[in-house]
Amino acid sequence: MAAVTSPFPEPILLYSLIENLIEFKEMEMQSSSGNVVEEVGGSSNKKENVLPPMAGGNPNKKTLVLDLDGTLVHTSLMPMPLGYHFTINVSVQGCDKPLYVVKRPGVDQLLLQLGSTGLYEIVIFTASHKAYADAVLDKILDSLPSNSQGRNLIPPTHRLTRNYCTKIRVKGEPHKVKDLSILGRDLKKVIIVDDREMSFLLQPENGILVDCWTGQQVRDADLFHVLSFCLKIEDPKLPYSATEDVTELIQELIYDQLSD
């Protein structure tokens, strides 16, 4: 990890702008109705089949959808007490500011063992803006071994950012959710990993909920549990690989591991 340097003061406006750049603030919606689902861009313009055809044409390959902030990384305006892995720069009112990023334990192993091997199709689905998400992902992928496919491991077609999210009101409160039906994949073969249960509200049976990663949990192992689960259900020596509906396996296996 990079060495920690002295923190510096930041104006309140900068905090507000960068929080919106990442993922923390919900989008405001103008609606007086209660539990109403509203697609981004209008319900008549719902995105469909946003992913290209599955590489290799393998109809049985599973798709692993990963959230970014709070799930794979934590980003801060100042260096964190336990250090950070890399920085990215953002421009705010014409002034470049560094953001400090710490990867969650297990990120590299997850991408290498599931993505680089071709075992799973990897998709990033985040409520963050595209420029920020691309900068973080490129840094993560560039740090992987040279035989890992680099940035091609998660190409632009498999990076879904804020404009792919669906707006929804729950008890009058606005939220952003990730509708897996837009992927164009068999939902029986789709897994989503997120630190916000609301993110997979429309397909809760496909979701694996992990604790929010803040960069301070010394013994965090959630991604290792996810990796173990994903490998287990693909192991031909185990009975799980014959199960066609992955949602059954999520309920049967993953939450027992995360509660250990």
pLDDT at residue 17 in the model? 55
Catalytic-labelled residue, pool 67, 179, 194, 222: 67
Q: What are phi and psi of 118, to 5 degrees?
A: 80, 10
pLDDT at residue 190 in the model? 98
pLDDT at residue 22 in the model? 59
pLDDT at residue 93 in the model? 74
pLDDT at residue 2 in the model? 46
Structure confidence by residue, pLDDT tens digits, 21-63: 555 433 333 333 344 444 434 444 567 899 999 988 788 899 9
pLDDT at residue 20 in the model? 61
Residue numbers of the chain with a pLDDT score lower than 70:
1-46, 255-260
69 is catalytic: yes
Domains identified in the chain and CATH numbers:
29-73+103-258 (3.40.50.1000)
pLDDT at residue 23 in the model? 53
State the chain's mean pLDDT as an integer.
Answer: 83
245 is catalytic: no
Catalytic-labelled residue, pool 69, 134, 194, 195: 69
pLDDT at residue 204 in the model? 96
Structure confidence by residue, pLDDT tens digits, 196-225: 999 999 999 999 999 999 999 989 999 999
